[in-house]
Structure 1
Amino acid sequence: MGKKTDATLREVQGFWNSPILFWPVILISASAWITFILKYFFNIILFNNIDTPRDLFGYLLLLGILFPLLFFLVTFTIEVRTGGVYFRFFPFHIRYKKIPFKSIAYYYPVNYSTISRFGGIGIRFNSRGEKIYNLGGNKGVEIGLTTGEKLVIGTNQDERLKKAIDQARFK
C-alpha cells in the first residue's frame, strides 16, 4: 500500500494516458508477438534476420515484453502538500522533487504546444531556459520561481492544480 501524505491534490499520469505514447508502444509490442507466433507456430518468417529460435526469443523479449514494460513503469506524479508542490517522473526521479511555496514567484494555468515550445514530451528544456515535465497533452501550470527559472508541469487538471496550490499556499 502507498505511503500516506498530506496531499490536497494528487495526480498520477502514465503512458496509458497519452495516445502519442500508448499506441506506438502497443503496435511495436504487437508486431513482436505476431512475428513470434507466425514463426514459432506456423514457420512463417517475416524478417530474414530473425530465423533462429534464439533470435526469435530475443526479439520477443526485447520488443514484446521489456519495451512495453519500460513504458508501463514511466509515471508522472504531482502532489500539492502543505510544504509545496511535489512531483516525480519515475523512473528518472526516484524521490519526489519539491518546489517550496516560498520559492514560487507566480503560477497560472497555460495551454501550450508541446512540440513547438518544448520539442516533445518528457523532461524537456527549451532555448528560453524553460523546463517542462509532461507525458502528453497541451495543458499545464507554469510556475515562475524566485530564481528566475520557469517550469511547466503538464497536467490534465490545470485549474484544479492551481486551486490546490492556492489553498495550500495561503493556509
Structure 2
Amino acid sequence: MYSRLAAAISVPEMLGDGRSETRNLIVFLAFCVILVTLVLQGLTLPVLIRILGLAGNLGMDPEEKEARRIVLRAAVHHLEEGRRRGGHDAEHLYDDLIHRYRHKLAAVGGDDEGGLEAVDRETMTRLRSILEDALQAERRTLISLRDKGRIGDDVLRTMERELDLAETRYQGTPIA
C-alpha cells in the first residue's frame, strides 16, 4: 500500500514536455486511495463482523458456566464441611470464604440449586461499585507513595498489575 505512495512520489516533478501538474494529481490520487482504504475499511470492519455473526460468543460458554457452577458448589460444600470439623475458633474464616464463594456462584448464575442464597442484580451491581471504589483508592494511594519517593517504579508496576487483575476479575463476571 505504501509502495503505491512511494511510486507516486517517485514520478519526476517535471515531465519531458514541461508539465508538472500530472505528478501532483498522481500523488493526490494515491494518497486518497490509501486514506479511503485504511479509514473506510477500518471503520466498517467491526460492523461487518457483527452483521455476519463472526464476533463470537460474548458471554460465557455454557460448558464453562456449568463447570464453574459445579466447581464452586464443590468448594462451598468442602468449606461447609471444614467449618463443621474446624471448631469454633476458625468458624469466622470459613464463613467469610463461604460467603465469597456464594457470591461467585451467584455471579455465574448457580444460585438456583443447592440451597444457596440468591444475590440479585442490584446487589451485584452495588458490590461491583464498592469494589471499584476500593481499588481506585488503592491505586491513588499507590501512586501517591511513588510520587513521594517511598516506593520505586518496579514496586508500583507490580502492585498496579495486581490491581489490574483484581479489577479484571470483578469486571469479567456477569451479573446474575
TM-score normalised by the chain length of structure 2? 0.27
Which gives a bigger RCO, structure 1 or 2 (Cα 8 Å, sep 6+)?
1
TM-score normalised by the chain length of structure 1? 0.28
* Structure with the higher fraction of residues in helix conformation: 2
